[in-house]
Structure 1
Amino acid sequence: MLLVLEGLAVLAAAAWYLLSIGQEGPVNMGGRLFMLFLLLAAGAWQFLVGHFLFRGKAWTRASALAWQVFQVIFAASFFGGGMPLVALGLLVPAAAILLLLFDPKATAFFGDRGASASRGAQQ
């Protein structure tokens, strides 16, 4: 559920970015449109990962893990940039999801593929 909420938050950030795309700034319009595309793609991808994670697809764990690591890196840059509330808003859900991804119940939900493969090799 947290992954779906993160995806929705990124899509909301894309909508906010779209509203301010015409304002003056250091990036030209091509760069702004590319950033908007990246935000839309990342939000849609995160939403889909959250959906398929809920359905028990094992491939989603790696994608969710990678996203959370990037989110921790982004949070560190916001701490350095003097925006601690934004940084905490990125860091707290990322930490919670990272912990939940490695919870024994989550591992059981997805099936311990490594242990079953090694048992088959031993027999």
Structure 2
Amino acid sequence: MSSTQGIKTVLHPVTDLDKAKAVYAALLGVEPNADSPYYVGFEAEGQQIGLVPNSTEPSPVTYWHVADIEAKLAEVTAVGGTLKDAPHDVGGGRLVATFTDPDGNVLGLIQD
């Protein structure tokens, strides 16, 4: 088994990006370091907190950072996890994927 680098990214689905941006800026005490109509991101204490409008996820998704996304997906699916979204490049060579645990909770993986 390979270890992870921990949860460093949490993406929150939002319905009103401007209102959510104001609340998270107040909560975190920082302005966004990424601000677009499809994603607003904050860097806070080594974590990336993202706001995603029009997301299909019903709740926030935590993303575990890993060195080898394919190997980690193989490990978690071998013991009962189910692939949701296969690894795909979201820019700059960063790969993301999601899977569900046996209870249907969505978990994410990121490989830089």
In the superposition, the TM-score normalised over structure 2's length comes to: 0.26
TM-score of the two chains, using structure 1 as the length reference: 0.25
Tell me which structure has the larger Cα radius of gyration: 1
Give the structure with the larger helix fraction: 1
